[in-house]
Chain A
Amino acid sequence: MFKAQVDVMLRPAILDVEGKTVENALRSLGYENAGHVRIGKHITLKIEAESREEAQRIANDISKKVLSNPVMEDYTVSVTEIETAEAA
């Protein structure tokens, strides 16, 4: 059993209005040194697969096809093996 963690972020070229709003709030709180806030999604899923490579391939496939939209988002995937007991 494997656990996949997927991060989906707006592409750098796209203005993240939500991040920008949070950034403005930080400014008004006096955090002058913090900026460039970007907001995305963190998605976890469990995958049954024979090998890490297979799990990685499935996770990439899902990320590309469903979890992200390549027009506006990039994704990163990390896969780790977990105990079956942990998965249940």
Chain B
Amino acid sequence: MKIGVVVFPGSNCDHDAYWAIKHNLGINAEFLFHKEHDLKGCDAIILPGGFSYGDYLRSGAIARFSPIMKEVIEFANSGGLVIGICNGFQILCESGLLPGALLRNRDLRFISKFIHIRIERGDTIFTGELNRGDVLRIPIAHGEGNYHADKATLQRLEENDQIIFTYCDPKGNVSEDTNPNGSQLNIAGIVNEAGNVLGMMPHPERACDSVLGSTDGVGIFRSLITAREEVAV
């Protein structure tokens, strides 16, 4: 099992993701440079957080056309596992692998703090080790995390159970008061219809080591690893 972490110019959570996978979870990790055209046999791909291409034009808009994204898109479309975290989520939306877009935060401020998210589904590739209703304490750090999609798209997301993380309070209550950035339906993370592509604004890779104040992010990576290893057996 090997997980690839894509490095775009301006990525700044690539090393965090690499560290979490390699040292906290004990799985092989490899950096994949944005100019390459090779996923090097990785079993899953992480698009990390940061400010790829300085967030020029729109966050994720230029990264989406990076050479390696051609391979990532093909990989995802043939069932490969892809996680986009923060800027990675924005890139997945720009590339059309996930529906919707991430707008400026409702209150314009860049928000960097621990928040809580509720697991809405415990039966996906990314949440198999967790249970519906579980609450994770994980940091967010973004200026543009306000999830937006048109009505029809939101309805489809709900009908297909594609919303897997929502912003909540420590007890798991989801309300407008627990919505940090104005996201519709308090959306913190969604999967594509096939369930193999995850986009999320919170940073699980920053919550995998007790030194960092939370290990709640481990469950997400552990779920993915277990799901992949079960397929391999």
Main secondary structure of the interface of B (DSSP, over half): loop
Min CB–CB distance A2 → chain B (angstroms): 21
In the complex, chain B residues whose CB is within 8 Å of the CB of A15: 106
A67 contacts the other chain (CB 8 A): yes
Question: A66-B57, A66-B61, A66-B65 are contacts. A71–B104 as well, Cβ < 8 Å?
Answer: no
Given the interface pairs A69-B94, A71-B93, the reply to whether A18 lies near B61 with Cβ below 8 Å is no
Give chain A residues whose Cβ lies under 8 Å from the Cβ of B103: 10, 14, 17, 72
Tell me if A44 counts as interface (CB < 8 A to partner B): no
- Give how many B residues have a beta carbon under 8 Å from the other chain's beta carbons: 18
Q: Contacts A14-B148, A66-B57 given; indicate if A72 touches B101 (C-beta within 8 A).
A: yes
Where chain A touches its partner, the secondary structure class is mixed
* Chain A contacts for B157, CB-based, 8 A: none
Structural contact, B101 and A71, CB atoms closer than 8 A: yes
Count how many chain A residues have C-beta atoms less than 8 Å from C-beta atoms of the other chain. 12
Q: Say how far B99's CB is from chain A's closest CB, in angstroms.
A: 8
A72 and B149 CA atoms in complex are apart in Å by 8
The verdict on B80 contacting chain A, using a C-beta distance below 8 Å, is: no
Q: How far is the CB of B36 from chain A (nearest CB, A)?
A: 22
Whether A18 and B148, one on each chain, are in contact in the complex, defined by CB atoms closer than 8 angstroms, is no
User: Does B107 touch A at the CB level, under 8 Å?
Assistant: yes
Q: Which residues of A are in contact with B by a Cβ distance under 8 Å?
A: 10, 14-15, 17-18, 21, 41, 66-67, 69, 71-72
| B interface, CB within 8 angstroms of A | 57-58, 61, 65, 93-94, 99-101, 103-108, 148-150
